[in-house]
A and B are shown apart, each in its own frame.
Chain A
Amino acid sequence: MIHFPQTYDEAISAAGELHAGGVDLQERYRRGISAGPLVDLRRLSSLKTITNTEDGSWQIGALVPLAALLRASFCQQVYPGLYQAVTHIATPQIRNVATVGGNLWQHPHCWYYRHPSFNCYRKGGQDCPARNGNHVYSVCFDSGPCIAPHPSTLALAFLAYDASLHFYGEPSRSLLEHFQPEEQNWMHQSPNSHPFCIGVQVPARRKGESASYRRVSGRALADWPLVEALARVQVEQNTIRFARIVIGGVAPVPLRLLRVEEALLGQPARREVVQEAAQLATAQAKPLPGTAYKVQLVQALVTDILQTLLPASEQD
């Protein structure tokens, strides 16, 4: 059963899992871990638009393909960190099909969740087979019960850019609110009942900010991140005036490192400052037996990425 709603109202009243590009969904259905009716949003052409608003922010429709986002010239110019992050998502062919909304709401990439032989919390089960199993790719900020890292690099990037999610029939909320620990239950809802996200609004960039994204993975390209990070820093007269740093691949949601940000604010843009602040990145880490290495990686990655944003005189 598949619906092709023509209006937003039809879309929210139709029963079924929302279908955007269908990349993640097609694989889940093939493996038999998802089933049921589909609500294909393709006819809602207003979801495919990108608009610039008067305050300088950009609104990106939920059905905009990732490749279209990369092609839009504003992306690289205004949000270089977002641009770099998107170039790391999946592969060029998949980015031609996969959409902004689909990427944000893709299901976790846990191999237990995706294996038809296992049950788990997310599939309505009573435990997490990964916790006592082979969880080398799981979180190192364990907040239970599920230990799968959030799969969306785009969510990490939007969080770092203080973006907001727009819903139909519900108030907008910032990514930061969206990923508050108490809000994390959204991940455990039935896939058919999550809110209908129609787009993302990204505020204007700050003057003079610089940004960088980096991930650590096994292969050079086309690999899921073991850990990933996006940082934005604004330095004025050699003083750090603004900092955003978000890490991914390590927790059920992308994590903004507020304590690192605080430690940087108002400080001189120097290597020692960055190195000391980066120490705070893993203060709240709670690794599993198999993911302690990720704590080490977060430390190294946060230090590395912040250093690349320092003035040239402070670099190696």
Chain B
Amino acid sequence: MIDVRVNGVAHSLEVTPTESAVEVLRDRLQLSGTKYACGSGACGACTVLIDGTPMVSCLLPAHALDGREVTTVEGIGSELHPVQKAFIACDGLQCGFCTPGYIMEGVAFYDEWQREHQGCKPSKEEVAERFSGHLCRCGAYPGMITAIREACSGAYEKEACSSPRQEARAKVTGQARYTVDIIYPEQLEGRILRSPYPHARILHLDYTKALALPGVKSVVELFSKDKTLRYIGQEIAAVAATTREIAQQALKLIDVQYEVQESVTNSLAARKPEAPQVYQFPYGQAPNAGESPLFPSKWKGNMRGPNTFFARQPGKAKRLVQQARQQASPNLLESTWTTQSVSHTAFEPHACVASWSADKTLTVHLSTQSCARMAHEIAKRWHLPLNNVQVLCEYIGGAFGSKIELTAEAIAAIELSLKTQTPVRVVLERDEELAIGGYRPAVTVELALLTGQSGNLEALSIEAYGESGIAIGSLVAGVCQSIYPGAPRNLADYDIVTHTPPGKPFRGPGGPPALWALEQSVDAMACHLKIDPLALREQWNPAPPLQELYSWVKTIPAWKDRASLQTQRGPARRGIGLATGSWLYFLQPGTQVEIKVTRGHLKVQTASQDMGNGTRTMLAQVTAQAFGLSSDQIEVQLGNSQDVPGAASSGSRTTTSFVSAIQDAAQQLQKQLLQIAKQEIHSEDLIVVPGGVASGDTFIPWPEVFAVAPDLSALGKRQKDQRRYQMPFPIKGMQIGSGSSWGVCVSEVEVDLRFGNVRVLRVWGGFAAGKIMVPTLAQNQAYGGILQGIGYALHESRQHDPLTGVMLNTNLTDYHLLGMADTPEIETYFAEQGFEYVAGGAIGLAEITTLPMAASIGNAVYHATGWRPHHLPLQPYEVLAGLSKGRL
């Protein structure tokens, strides 16, 4: 029995020897503001104050709370703390899942700073050191650094602060409730039994012993009809019990007999003719690792492809390259590039709480990127009318592409809840999330670039081999279709399947590995031709938005002066590199939004969701602009599948899908409101003006019209673009529009020749994606894309045991996410012209912001050292090996 005061309230609790403080706070005291994310003390999301000192509650035994005073984010007080206000005002957050941990550390840091250094501002380095025990997967570090420094300097002592993000207050106070925070009375906890083998058949499964364990309520089977398991971690069965610990114990009591089969877990072995085949004809239902539709393709053993959908004159390109090779042309550049696999590892793991009602209606809280589509899939799978299914996701703690499909945590929760007729929660642990929650596949790219005498691009050939485990649909070569148009190009994509978990679409799937190869090859060609790399790119693609970005790059002093770095001496060498990227313009033409007048104000509703990218704020601001109101006067309801079908949060499609739909709804609603106003004041001369209706000297602001109006509603639809779509009809609700987004990243790095460390010091990111609807949030989103790109280039890598294929670094201590101290200075620029034909004027931004980063770092490393890296990530051992072998 322990006695503990939490947020001023005394509790006496019975705890077990190994229970952690975070479990007690979240599950027993239902203080869900404290988040559990990594379980290894690396991310700091669970930080609370113990007698005023910040500690990670995941590694703090519950019994250590005895006699202590605990403060959680809920205990800060009803008034916002200066640190909370600063996080709101500086937009120091995205998905918000890590935010309460930062706030608690911030409160303690602020208090110390006020005692010792009042009136001064801590340096960026001091802040990074103090917050080194916190990680943010979204990469909202720049806003956080500003927020903490400003709060400590005393800039947020006054009452109010403006909030660029609609839900910021809910996130900094811990009030935002994510799927993992949902607790129903009597709710059961589910855990999943997973395959220990990369390839096996289930011969027999007996769970009577598990069911006999006190507290266990039900067991369901999760394996497929063919009883075949194709990767370590594949789901076999799930248990629901009164506690997570009992459910976990019960997994060990499930007796499974396997017929272990020959397996292949690495792609080199999988390509050999004698390798065991992952799929047999007719190749079953391999999941899609990308976000573009799957096209039919040939199989040969474990290789699928080529997919050449985006190639243009591929035969000619191949012939030109072949001729140049025979003639040993100096203008042919051929190389092989490889990239590693990296996990999405959103801080809110895959999670689902399912609850069936007696009348066969189903409520599913799901951390998903598309509540609308999930409701359809659930209705189909469990044979329910769509009206009987409600999928809810008011807040999502990040996703990055890993939460697009209906996956096992949801199936387990729904099945277990059906059997027990009790709500069931299933939440993945961090090791599960890292290993099977989704990853960007490793890729090998063989690239040939041929130029003519004048430096013109004559031919491009890219053959890419994606390693998506049991999944298919790698699109790497294909994403290079539009970046340098004109010349013949052979773009061939292959999948190599293995007995490993399925890769999933990850922020610009295929883009970073493609550009790692292409943009370094272009840089190498520019060096060979002795042409400025920017000038060469300008020559190869004169698209106006891109030219605007290049003009901006030319104004960056560090870029202009980069030649001055040629004379460096000493062990630390700086270099500047540039890379360009482009991305497809995806949209969801069926997107709808409803705007209502209710209880005297405007409410926007749509079955969409906000992963932290800012959809809620964008909906509020576009609505506010249409009415001439301020966005805090608008209420937004997201994350309810029973609202009108909204856009999925994938393929950078939300903003472009919504803007014209909102404008459409606003226009219709304003017509209705105008009629009401006319009747109200008996004037037929009223017209709609910004902020309300007017006639002559009479001006009636909208809120006054809302006050007299009955409840009204208007349905807005995504309008058609003025140019034909690239893909003439939608597949799974998604279509590809005309044109593409553009990105240019310039990186300044420092390479330590002794220790092999690469540090990114400064980044300039310029992006063209049409009209920027919410500049502050767009900038934050760009920071996140850039920082994830740096993490990909330098730190992140799924590490496997070569013999068994087991993933080894399944915690955030060994799986290295970028930290605040690794965050460079970042400047962003948005080129908004050139997308006027798009309904609403904006296309997607999420993916393009991360694509060119790794390649720009590769080019900068070459500039600094004369060694061109071909393999990612640039860990010290890679860099040391490269420098000793390959320095020019």
Contact = CB atoms under 8 A, between A and B. Distances in A.
Interface of A: 1-2, 19, 22-23, 26-27, 29-31, 37-38, 40, 42, 67, 90-94, 96-97, 109, 111-112, 114-115, 117-118, 129, 132-134, 136, 216, 218-224, 226, 293, 296-297, 300-301, 304, 316
A117 B133 contact: no
Contacts of A129: 801, 803
A296 B44 contact: no
Given A91-B133, A115-B808, A296 B40 contact: no
13 contacts: A1-B17, A2-B17, A22-B61, A26-B60, A31-B431, A42-B64, A93-B44, A112-B808, A117-B232, A133-B801, A218-B794, A218-B876, A223-B816
Interface of B: 17-18, 20, 39-42, 44, 47, 53-56, 58-61, 63-64, 105, 128-130, 132-133, 196, 232, 431, 570, 754-757, 759, 794-795, 799-804, 806, 808-811, 813-814, 816, 818-819, 821-822, 875-877, 880-881, 884
B406 to A, nearest CB: 27
Contacts of A67: 53
Nearest to A95: B133
A115 B794 contact: no
A115 B196 CA distance: 13
Contacts of B813: 109, 224
A316 B759 contact: no
A29 B18 contact: yes
A117 B18 contact: no
A22 B757 contact: no
B806 A118 contact: yes
A93 B56 contact: yes
Name, among B56, B128, B759, the residue most crowded by chain A CB atoms within 10 Å (CB to CB).
B56
Given A115-B808, A293-B756, 16 more contacts: A26-B59, A92-B129, A93-B41, A93-B105, A96-B53, A109-B813, A115-B810, A134-B799, A136-B799, A218-B757, A219-B795, A219-B818, A220-B819, A220-B821, A221-B819, A222-B819
A92 B130 contact: yes
A133 B39 contact: no
Nearest to B755: A216
A304 B431 CA distance: 38
Nearest to B18: A29
A224 to B, nearest CB: 7
A93 B754 contact: no
A2 B15 CA distance: 11
A132 B129 CA distance: 37
Contacts of B877: 136, 226, 293
A22 B794 CA distance: 32
B128 A133 contact: no
A118 B806 CA distance: 9
Contacts of B61: 19, 22, 26
B814 A111 contact: yes
5 A-B pairs with the lowest CB-CB distances in the bound complex, closest first: A91-B133, A2-B17, A220-B821, A300-B754, A221-B132
Contacts of B196: 117
B757 A216 contact: yes
B41 A90 contact: yes
Contacts of A132: 803
Nearest to B881: A293
Given A132-B803, A316-B570, A23 B41 contact: yes
A94 B17 CA distance: 20
A112 B884 CA distance: 30
Given A133-B803, A221-B132, A23 B876 contact: no
B62 to A, nearest CB: 10
A218 B816 CA distance: 8
Contacts of A293: 756, 876-877, 880-881
A133 B56 CA distance: 32
Contact of B754 (A26, A136, A221, A304): A304
B59 A27 contact: yes
A47 B799 CA distance: 40
Given A30-B18, A216-B876, A96 B808 contact: no
A96 B105 CA distance: 12
A103 B17 CA distance: 21
Given A93-B41, A133-B802, A297-B876, A221 B60 contact: no
Nearest to A137: B814
A70 to B, nearest CB: 12
Name, among B41, B63, B813, the residue most crowded by chain A CB atoms within 10 Å (CB to CB).
B41
Contacts of A93: 41, 44, 47, 54-56, 105, 133
Given A91-B41, A93-B44, A93-B133, A219 B55 contact: no
A109 B808 CA distance: 12
Contacts of B56: 93-94, 97
Contacts of A134: 799-802, 808
B415 to A, nearest CB: 25
Contacts of A112: 801, 808
Contact of A221 (B39, B129, B431, B881): B129
A91 B132 contact: yes
Contacts of B804: 117
Contacts of B42: 91, 222
Contacts of A40: 63
Contacts of A92: 54, 129-130, 132-133
Contacts of B875: 218
Contacts of A136: 799, 877
A96 B821 CA distance: 20
B795 A218 contact: yes
